[in-house]
Amino acid sequence: MQNSVILPQWLDNLIFEQLGAKYCRYNADMTVIDWDKNDVLNYLGTYFPRSYAESYCIFNELFHQYPSTFAGKTDICIFDFGCGTGGEIIGFLTAISENIRSVHKVKISALDGNFHSLRFLEKIVDIYKGICRMEVELRLIPHKIEDFYDLSVLDTIIPCGLDMFVSFKAICEFVTKERFEKQNAYTHIIKTFLPKLDEYGLMVLADLTSLNEVSQEWLPRMMDAGCSQTDCQLLMKNNGYNQSFTVTHKRKTNDISKIAWRILKR
C-alpha cells in the first residue's frame, strides 16, 4: 500500500501562498470546532496535507483491491462528518478521478461546526473544480453537534442512499468534549449513519491513535469496540495498531502522521 505522497503543486501553492496557511503542530487533544481563523490557518498548513495524503492512499488502496467499487455509477454521493478544511475530500476526489473513470459527478455534503474551516473548504473546492475532470457539487452543512438530540436532528436532513460516509480525525473531538456523555461515540455515529448508505455504500472512519485524556482510552480500541456494538461488516483496516503516512510540501518534507482506519459496509 502506498503511504507517501507529495502534495500536488496547485494545492501546495493554493493553501500556503494564496490562503496563507502555516505549519504548526499541536500535541494535545484538539477541539478544532472552537478555533478562530488563525488557528484554522495553522491547521490548514499542518493537518490538511496529512488528511489529503491519508485519504488519497486509503482510497487508492480501496479502488485497487476492489476495482468494482461504484461499478456502473456515473454519479456518486458522499457525506463527510466533521469535514474541517477538507483534506480528506480532496484526497478522495483525486483518488476516484484517477481510478474510477465511469464517475463523472460527485455530490458532497460536508458538515462541520467551525465556519472558518467551511469557508476554506469552499475556496479549495472551487479551485479544484477548475482542474478536475469530474463535476463536483458541494453542499456545506454548518452545524454543531452538542448532544444526542443534535445528532437525531441531523439524521433527518441527510438523505438515504449515500455511496460513501467519511469521517477523518473528527470523532475524537466528540470523545474529548463528551458530546455523547461517556458512551462510545463511534457506536453512535455508526448506528446513525450506516442505515443511510446505499446497498453497496461504504463507511470510512479514520482517527488518531492516541490515548484520549478525557476518556482515558486508546482511540483505536474505542473505534473497534464501537464497531463491535453495531451490525456493520469490516471490509478493510490498517495492519497493526496504526498506519504511518508521509506527505511532503513546501513547509515540510516527509511529515509523518499516524492514524487508525476502518472501512465498513452494511
pLDDT for residue 145: 78
For residue 168, give the C-alpha cell: 477523518
pLDDT for residue 158: 86
**Rounded distance, CA 178 to CA 181, Å?**
5
Domain ranges, residue 249: 4-265
Provide the residue type at 255 as one letter: D
pLDDT for residue 32: 56
CATH code at position 130: 3.40.50.150
- Dihedral of alpha carbons 222, 202, 137, 128, sign: positive
Domain count, the chain: 1
**Rounded distance, CA 222 to CA 227, Å?**
9
Say if residues 227 and 262 touch (Cβ distance below 8 Å): yes
**Rounded distance, CA 175 to CA 94, Å?**
30
pLDDT for residue 33: 54
CA atoms within 13 A on the CB side of 180: 18
**Rounded distance, CA 122 to CA 21, Å?**
15
| CA-to-CA dists, residue 30 to 43, 143, 165, angstroms | 10, 18, 22
For residue 225, give the C-alpha cell: 469496540
Query: Around Cβ 234, how many Cβ atoms within 10 Å?
Result: 12
Provide the residue type at 62 as one letter: L
Q: Tens-digit pLDDT profile for the chain (266 aa)? A: 999 999 999 999 999 999 999 998 765 445 555 678 989 999 999 999 999 999 999 999 999 999 999 988 999 999 999 999 999 999 999 999 999 999 999 999 999 999 999 999 999 999 999 999 999 999 999 988 777 667 777 777 888 899 999 999 999 988 877 767 778 999 989 999 999 999 999 999 999 998 888 788 899 999 999 999 999 999 999 999 999 999 999 999 999 999 999 999 99
240: left (phi over 0), alpha (psi -120 to 50) or beta: left
Provide the residue type at 250 as one letter: K
b vs e for 114-138, b when ≥16 Cβ sit within 10 Å of the residue's Cβ?
bebbbbbbebbbebbeeeeebebeb
217 DSSP 8-state letter: S
